[in-house]
Amino acid sequence: MTITHATPTGADLATLHRENLELAARVARLEKQMGGVPDKNALSLCVFSDDLDRLLAAFSIANSSAACGMQVTMYFTFWATSALKRTGPQAAGKTIVERMFGWMLPGGPKVRSLSKLQMGGMGRAMVEREMRLKGIAGLAEQMEMAKSTGIQILVCSMTMDLMGIRREELVEYPGLEVCGTTKFIDIAASGNVTFFI
Amino acid sequence: MAESRRVDTRGLKCPVPVVRMNGEVRDVPAGEDLHVIADDPAFPPDVKAWCRRTGHELVSLETIDGVTEAVVRVVR
């Protein structure tokens, strides 16, 4: 019996080499499309509302998730941006309309109203009193906590532009960044949990 | 043996107990235990979830008269 060893010819090797290069190029292309492997431990919140109750829910979830070791990003857009404004006088050089936005949308965690049972401020006072009595952390405290848990805060630049909010009118927050939706969606797409509040 | 580390979160509500515990655990060396006391009813399920997410070991969890004591062994 004769055993024939398949000796690769030069032509076979050239074909293999070409196929190998094609496959490598395909893998590189697919990897680029995927943008790397998603970080399974990331939460992204799009915070839209400036209501006290909604902001409390957003910060509670964000702080707990960060404490669980998740990478947390909060993207503030539209009305929610007011919650990140400092209190005090508005920046100089605003148009009349921008100034009106400033008057009608006061800044800071203290002046937020409820989405339900606001009752001209009575509801909020009641909720704040109950929270204090029951040891539930308020919005200002939760916003401070976000600094220590390492939550990343992004602010929508279009909202800032629309409402005439200046960068210097925003609260001091480590790493706070004004950016567009693309940056947010890039972060959200690489994580596995996204909320809109 | 070193005095066991304790964090008392009584009177505090979700999410503060978990955030406090997470802050305390940073200073605990691997293999050592942290005792966490809480009276928030959300704490027992939350501490289980926190251990699952962070990889720390839940050695014991006991609730008596609404006060929970969790013993967490730090894993790094």
Greater model confidence, B53 or A171:
A171
Name A115's Cβ contacts closer than 8 Å, sequence gap at least 6.
Answer: A49, A51, A52, A53, A54
C-alpha A61/C-alpha A79 separation (Å) is: 19
Query: What does chain B come to in residues?
Result: 76
Among candidate residues B30, B28, B27, B45, the one with its CA nearest the CA of residue B18: B45
Q: Is residue A163 part of a domain?
A: yes
3-state DSSP call for residue A175? coil
Would you say A146 and A63 are in contact if contact means Cβ atoms under 8 Å apart?
Answer: yes
Greater model confidence, A44 or B49:
A44
> What does the mean pLDDT of chain B come to?
92
Q: Is residue A1 part of a domain?
A: no
pLDDT tens for A76-108 read 999 999 999 999 889 999 999 999 999 999 898
- Residue A37 pLDDT: 61
Q: Report the CATH number at residue A50.
A: 3.40.1260.10
Q: Is residue A103 part of a domain?
A: yes
Would you say B4 and B10 are in contact if contact means Cβ atoms under 8 Å apart?
Answer: no
As a whole number, mean pLDDT of residues B46-64 equals 92
* Cβ of residue B41 closer than 8 Å to a chain A Cβ: no
Name A52's Cβ contacts closer than 8 Å, sequence gap at least 6.
Answer: A112, A113, A114, A115, A124, A127, A139
Burial class (CB in 10 A: 0-12, 13-18, 19+), A4: exposed
pLDDT tens for A114-133 read 999 989 989 999 999 999 99
3-state DSSP call for residue A184? helix
Identity of residue A181: T
Nearest to B53 among A68, A134, A142 (CB): A68
The alpha helices in chain B, defined as continuous H runs, are 16-25, 43-54
* Cβ of residue A126 closer than 8 Å to a chain B Cβ: no
Q: Give residue B17's Cα distance to chain centre.
A: 8
Q: Is residue A117 part of a domain?
A: yes
Q: How far is A57 from chain B (nearest CA, A)?
A: 10
C-alpha B60/C-alpha B42 separation (Å) is: 16
Contacts of B22 in chain A (CB under 8 A): 67-68, 149
Would you say A124 and A61 are in contact if contact means Cβ atoms under 8 Å apart?
Answer: no
Q: Is residue A70 part of a domain?
A: yes
C-alpha B31/C-alpha B25 separation (Å) is: 11
Give the phi and the psi of residue A62 in degrees, each rounded to 5: -65, -45
Residue of B nearest to A42 (CA): B53
The token duo for A87 is 């209190």
Q: Is residue A112 part of a domain?
A: yes
Residue A143: its H or E element: helix A139-149
A64, B18: Cβ pair inside 8 Å?
yes
- Residue A173 pLDDT: 96
Contacts of A57 in chain B (CB under 8 A): none
* Cβ of residue A57 closer than 8 Å to a chain B Cβ: no
pLDDT-derived band at B53, boundaries 50, 70, 90: confident
Name A118's Cβ contacts closer than 8 Å, sequence gap at least 6.
Answer: A124
Q: CB atoms < 10 A from the CB of A127, how many?
A: 18
- Residue A39 pLDDT: 67
Q: Is residue A9 part of a domain?
A: no
C-alpha A13/C-alpha B28 separation (Å) is: 59
- For chain A, the domain total comes to 1
| Domain with A191 in it | 38-196
Whether B14 is a known active-site residue: answer: yes
- Residue B1 pLDDT: 47
Contacts of A70 in chain B (CB under 8 A): 53
Q: Is residue A58 part of a domain?
A: yes
Active-site entry in B4, B14, B57, B76: B14
What would the CATH number be for the domain defined by B5-73?
Answer: 3.30.110.40
Residue of A nearest to B50 (CA): A68
Would you say A175 and A152 are in contact if contact means Cβ atoms under 8 Å apart?
Answer: yes
Does residue B5 carry a pLDDT above 50? yes
| Complex ipTM value | 0.72
**Count of CA atoms in the C-beta half-sphere (13 A) of B18:** 27
Residue of A nearest to B17 (CA): A64
User: pLDDT means per 10 residues in chain A (197 residues)?
Assistant: 65 89 87 66 96 97 95 96 93 93 90 91 93 94 94 93 93 92 86 94
